[in-house]
Structure 1
């Protein structure tokens, strides 16, 4: 029951490619119920999206309340014949647990569950000093896809019940090279958009009768992205705007296209909000386009805002637990992409610490058995310090 490797293996054997659950939440729910947790399976959906099953479980009803968050959904395995071991085999070979989700992030969930079960077994089945405290699990099923029917709505559902979290540990694979090298304490925000430039379609032999948007969009791409958005801040690296595609939808070589479009994404730091960022980019576009070029930006909806958990007692106790097990003092980092921590940060301070992320999303994803054991001990150390 308290073995992270066994729990992780059982989770990996559930082919829970978003939006399928494939029994993964049931594995966790059964163990949590047996340990005395009050569990809730909550399904959310909306038109145009798949219904997503989520799990919330809590033991205790007093503060302080620490929650362990994660997702059991995984990305597709790709060409399964290319895997050395089956993508959902959960095979243990050569000191590694093999399979999709072993690192991202079923292994991390298994370690947090094993640590909590061990802690409760050693403390009379109750969290905190004299039973005063709460531990919960916030597990979603759509982090790898749209992230609309998972953590966002589950957090709202918990809040509507009158519950609040004091701190959160998210078990995403935060470490870069070796266990203990990095804690994520923040993330840059993310904003995407599409630049449209309108021209006039025509025959290439008669350019005077047309207006070619291709040279214009090339100039605008340079004008928008050439100048830095900022030079970084105390907690974050510099924001960056990257164009990711340019298209005119034209299959003919003798036709000047009538429109060109270019998609881009911005990863932004705490110098900006989504509103001020859009204003900055729109101003650059207006200056470069002038009155001649007909251009506009269509912004995509985004719930990926910048956040940071400031150093303090919570990060200190996590650092101490990690250093005790690994002998390393991890960097407090805000690098990388987005995660569900961006939603959790609106409810309580959150840190991300899990396994080493080198093989996540890859063929032959795998987690070292020794790392699963160490991560369980680290989570156990966090609990002991948290409720001390």
Structure 2
């Protein structure tokens, strides 16, 4: 039998492979080698061009027939930023804590699952890993293209666990059973540039944009549901092409994001913003990018085995939540039931990102318990 893998050691080695989104190359080479050594057949491909690519994807499969359990995740990370006490891509283990970019989000979870799979090699069914290099970006060539690959081959998992860091105060206290949708929009209001001393010779777009902002800020989208909080619209920026104090700008732009529950649909929200913008500032245009629709996984086997595994390992009954940001579950829900579960997430994307060594080991034990319950 192949020797088991140490999840902390593998996490550290993955961190040592810089993989700012969109990622490819060395970090996938490392994961490929580890999975091949424990009996997985690994498929990899790179696709796309800048600015959203090139992106590498990996699908690894072991076994055939029976129940098909999928684990999904991403090897790309956000840029490290300035202010680290050590090199963010040189992992440090000190006082029981692993520090490095990706330690929390989410190389440690991938390592924990690979370690769990290395100790559980007699499954009567199929295990797959669906790993992308573009979750932290726009996912143009990421998980949606993995889904295409699976569909082309008639491969469909029965359930998928995503290893995103979902715990809050303690490992096991929260799993994500759904996610809100997200849409970014840019409202462009045209005007005519001119000198501020001669406003009659110009057309200032700022007051018109202000009316649009006020109308949208007063908008009540919904009251939420039992599973989701109310949908929320937030403005994230206002800009003009010139910043001179004596120039009326030729245009003005507002940027906004809507995080929405499953009472809404992304395209309908875009149309609503377009209607209000045209009413308050005729001639305005709206550009939009829908990151994903809201989704909710109904109760079923995936809930049962994950909650039971967490309870057996930690003694905790996890909260079932839909809070927080998006995940690639917004795409994978097309295939089968999906939930997210992983490490405590307080340090994700932060300077000094880290994970407790014992949490990584305990997470691997939880993942192994899940496999045992699925395959028996």
Per-residue Cα deviation, 1:97-137 (whole angstroms, up to 9, x for no partner):
111111110000000111111111xxxxx313xxxx10011
For residues 196 and 46 of structure 2, the distance between their equivalents in structure 1, rounded to whole angstroms, comes to 55
Per-residue Cα deviation, 1:169-213 (whole angstroms, up to 9, x for no partner):
100111122111110111111111111222232322222333222
3-state SS in 2 of match to 1:205: coil
- Over aligned residues, Cα RMSD in angstroms? 1.6
For residues 138 and 219 of structure 1, the distance between their equivalents in structure 2, rounded to whole angstroms, comes to 46
Q: TM-score, normalised by structure 2?
A: 0.95
Match 2:58 to one of 44, 55, 60: 55
CA apart distance, 1:341: 1.2
CA apart distance, 1:50: 2.6
Match 1:173 to one of 165, 188, 209: 165
How many residue pairs get matched?
373
1:281/1:298 Cα in 2 relative to 1: closer, same or farther (>3 Å)?
closer
Q: Which residue of 2 aligns with 1:127?
A: 123
3-state SS in 2 of match to 1:382: helix
Q: Which residue of 1 aligns with 2:95?
A: 94
Q: Which residue of 1 aligns with 2:178?
A: 186
Q: For residues 205-244 of structure 1, what are the structure 2 equivalents within 5 Å?
A: 205-244=197-236
Q: Contact conserved, 1:193 with 1:297, CA < 8 A, in 2? A: no
Q: For residues 221-300 of structure 1, what are the structure 2 equivalents within 5 Å?
A: 221-287=213-279, 289=280, 293-300=281-288
Q: Contact conserved, 1:199 with 1:294, CA < 8 A, in 2? A: no
Per-residue Cα deviation, 1:4-48 (whole angstroms, up to 9, x for no partner):
111111111111122343521222211221222111112222475
Say yes or no: does 1:7 pair with 2:10. yes
For residues 178 and 357 of structure 2, the distance between their equivalents in structure 1, rounded to whole angstroms, comes to 28
List gaps (5 residues or longer) in structure 2: none
1:247/1:35 Cα in 2 relative to 1: closer, same or farther (>3 Å)?
same
3-state SS in 1 of match to 2:115: helix
1:47/1:3 Cα in 2 relative to 1: closer, same or farther (>3 Å)?
closer
Per-residue Cα deviation, 1:212-255 (whole angstroms, up to 9, x for no partner):
22122112101012122111112111111111111122232222
Q: Contact conserved, 1:69 with 1:168, CA < 8 A, in 2? A: yes
Q: Contact conserved, 1:193 with 1:298, CA < 8 A, in 2? A: yes
3-state SS in 1 of match to 2:120: helix
For residues 262 and 5 of structure 2, the distance between their equivalents in structure 1, rounded to whole angstroms, comes to 41
CA apart distance, 1:302: 2.2
Match 1:140 to one of 132, 135, 139: 132
List gaps (5 residues or longer) in structure 1: 121-125
For residues 239 and 46 of structure 2, the distance between their equivalents in structure 1, rounded to whole angstroms, comes to 39
